Amino acid sequence: MTDQNGKKRVNLRDVAKAADVSVATVSRVLNSPGAVTEKTRNRVQEVIDQLNFVPSAAARAINSGRTRFVGALVPTLDNAIFARFLAALERALAARQLSLVVATTSSDQAIEAEKAKGLLDIGAEGLILSGITHSAELEALIEHTRVPTIATSYFDGTCNLPTIGYDNAAAAQIALGHLHDLGHRRIAVVHGPAQNNDRTQDRIRGLNAFGQGTELSWFQASIGLQGGVDAARSILSGGPMPEAILCLSDVLAMGLLFGLQGQGIDVPEDVSLMGIDDLPWSAVSVPPLSTVHLPVQRMGEQAASALADWVEHQNRPESALLHAHLVARSSTLKCVRGE
């Protein structure tokens, strides 16, 4: 291979020649230094440094079958929750000498399958997915290639794939439980598109199973901040004001907060507001947002170490449940009925 400029890259043979050893020996000092005399090893290493030799990843991959990179498929980078997850994932992977190739799916299973195939085609040794619901093609692809794959943001001990994540239904129930404890019963629930999002579906399922005399009204918002803002309008124009609003994500809650404030509604005096995620801004908004903390950073770290271990030592990990917990701040207040 020649560089784009023209002078060829230093290769094993060059090093071997310069160090007056065989290519095998050079290869050894690279891969199993213990199998080489210290004297030889030092000499070779010196030449390597001097010649600025970097083994070709491609050639190495072709022989060892290892490419040292994995792929992650997330719905979007435009939501801090995924960005935070990926940041932690990338950091933890890098510590294990693995690179991360990121692909976004726009929550579209067809795109997801296509990009996953693309990642595998270019040699990804493992895959990180979001959620456990995927297209038949993707499932077949994983089944067929047996590529180490971990589903995240979702916990399901019975899933074919190892899952590392939280119990979304429980997280939603924690939120609703908090509102319930404060005495709220008539609660508006705002969620994003549930169609292709099993995390959202699960949260909805969790709320429906909650019971305890709660009276839930449902609002589906479009994705992102603006969806929350619009939902505020829907809620305000859609009959009596609920006692509390539960958003199934912090981004939505932020939109709601702004939407309500824009209409002169005070949170939490006029209505309690809750989110799920615990993004950085939730701690500092005015009022600070009560929410359910989802341990996405830990999820990133655990997914990284589990996938690394699977890829390197064929240890298929067990699913891991990460605990979500309530973060009660001041956007929720005890319910005072009949003013």
Partner DNA sequence: ATGAAAGCGCTAACAA
Partner DNA sequence: TTGTTAGCGCTTTCAT
With binding defined as CB under 8 A, does residue 110 bind a second copy? no
Given a contact cutoff of 8 angstroms between Cβ atoms, the answer to whether 86 and 77 are in contact is yes
- Work out how close the CB of 28 gets to DNA at its nearest, in angstroms, rounded to a whole number: 6
For a second copy, give the closer residue by CB, 105 or 197: 105
Tell which one of 281, 321, 322, 323 touches a second copy (CB under 8 A). Answer: 281
Q: How many CB atoms lie within 10 A of CB 317?
A: 18
- Work out how close the CB of 26 gets to DNA at its nearest, in angstroms, rounded to a whole number: 7
116 binds, among DNA, a second copy, none (CB under 5 to 8 A by kind): none
DSSP 92-116: HHHHTT-EEEEEE-TT-HHHHHHHH
With binding defined as CB under 8 A, does residue 217 bind a second copy? no
Given a contact cutoff of 8 angstroms between Cβ atoms, the answer to whether 275 and 254 are in contact is yes
- Tokens representing 164 are 């590392």
Where do contacts with DNA occur on this chain (CB under 7 A)?
1, 8-9, 11-13, 20-25, 27-28, 30-31, 35-37, 39-41, 53-56, 59-60, 62-64
For DNA, give the closer residue by CB, 27 or 130: 27
For DNA, give the closer residue by CB, 55 or 224: 55
- Work out how close the CB of 42 gets to a second copy at its nearest, in angstroms, rounded to a whole number: 22
Identify the DSSP state of 190.
E
Tell which one of 24, 35, 209, 286 touches a second copy (CB under 8 A). Answer: 286
Residues sharing a CB contact under 8 Å with residue 107, sequence separation 6 or more, in sequence order: 75, 76, 193, 196, 197
Q: Of the candidates 285, 289, 283, 232, which has an alpha carbon nearest to the alpha carbon of residue 256?
A: 232
Q: Of the candidates 92, 17, 95, which has an alpha carbon nearest to the alpha carbon of residue 50?
A: 17
Given a contact cutoff of 8 angstroms between Cβ atoms, the answer to whether 126 and 70 are in contact is yes
Residue that is written with structure tokens 């935070």 in the block:
84
Q: Of the candidates 257, 265, 188, which has an alpha carbon nearest to the alpha carbon of residue 228?
A: 257
37 binds, among DNA, a second copy, none (CB under 5 to 8 A by kind): DNA
With binding defined as CB under 8 A, does residue 255 bind a second copy? yes
- Work out how close the CB of 139 gets to DNA at its nearest, in angstroms, rounded to a whole number: 24
Tell which one of 34, 314, 336, 337 touches a second copy (CB under 8 A). Answer: 314
Helices (H), 146-243: 168-181, 198-208, 225-237
41 binds, among DNA, a second copy, none (CB under 5 to 8 A by kind): DNA
- Work out how close the CB of 13 gets to a second copy at its nearest, in angstroms, rounded to a whole number: 14
> Where does residue 61 rank: exposed (0-12), middle (13-18), buried (19+ CB within 10 A)?
middle
Query: Which residues in the 122-161 window bind a second copy by CB under 8 A?
Result: 122-123, 144-148
- Work out how close the CB of 146 gets to a second copy at its nearest, in angstroms, rounded to a whole number: 5
* Contact positions vs a second copy (CB under 8 A): 1-5, 52, 54-59, 61-63, 65, 67-69, 76-78, 80, 83-84, 86-87, 90-91, 94, 99-104, 115, 118-123, 144-148, 224-226, 229, 254-255, 258-259, 261-262, 280-281, 283-286, 314
